[in-house]
């Protein structure tokens, strides 16, 4: 229901904007042109952001984060004496290897979708959160 109302609202805004852009008085046309110009600028900014992230991705931005995660997991494993904590750390290592394989797969592709990068980043954040929870149990 909310999606439907949101879509209707967006279509209504686009309709009013288009009407003012082509058929409005001079003040309405000026406002509509300014809005269209700002939307174009925002689109360019998003495009530039995606290109920058793609460059960082290609240069190994995520590789460094995974290397740090590996070091942290090894340190946690060496300090842990509890079998259940070691099991949790092993699960985290398996997840990290899964992320690394996905990263390797994506790094060989020429056109990587932003959604795939976002999914990988989300998985990395979740892995970090889980590692922080396990580290918290080690400190207790």
Helices 2-23/26-58 angle, 10° precision: 120
For the chain, the domains span 2-54, 60-139
Residues 5-17: tens digit of each pLDDT: 989 999 999 999 9
| Global confidence as pTM | 0.56
Residues 25-71: tens digit of each pLDDT: 999 999 999 999 999 999 899 888 878 877 777 677 777 777 888 88
């Amino acid at each position: 229901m909310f999606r439907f109302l949101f879509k209707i609202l967006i279509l209504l805004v686009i309709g009013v904007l288009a009407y003012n852009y082509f058929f409005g008085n001079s003040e309405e046309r000026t406002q509509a042109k300014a809005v269209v110009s700002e939307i174009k600028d925002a689109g360019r900014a998003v495009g530039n952001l995606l290109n920058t992230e793609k460059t960082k991705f290609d240069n190994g931005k995520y590789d460094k984060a995974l290397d740090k995660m590996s070091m942290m997991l090894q340190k946690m494993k060496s300090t842990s004496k509890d079998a259940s904590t070691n099991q949790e750390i092993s699960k985290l290592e398996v997840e990290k290897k899964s992320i690394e394989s996905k990263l390797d797969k994506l790094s060989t592709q020429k056109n990587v979708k932003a959604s795939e990068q976002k999914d990988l980043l989300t998985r990395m954040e979740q892995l970090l959160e889980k590692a922080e929870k396990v580290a918290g149990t080690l400190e207790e």
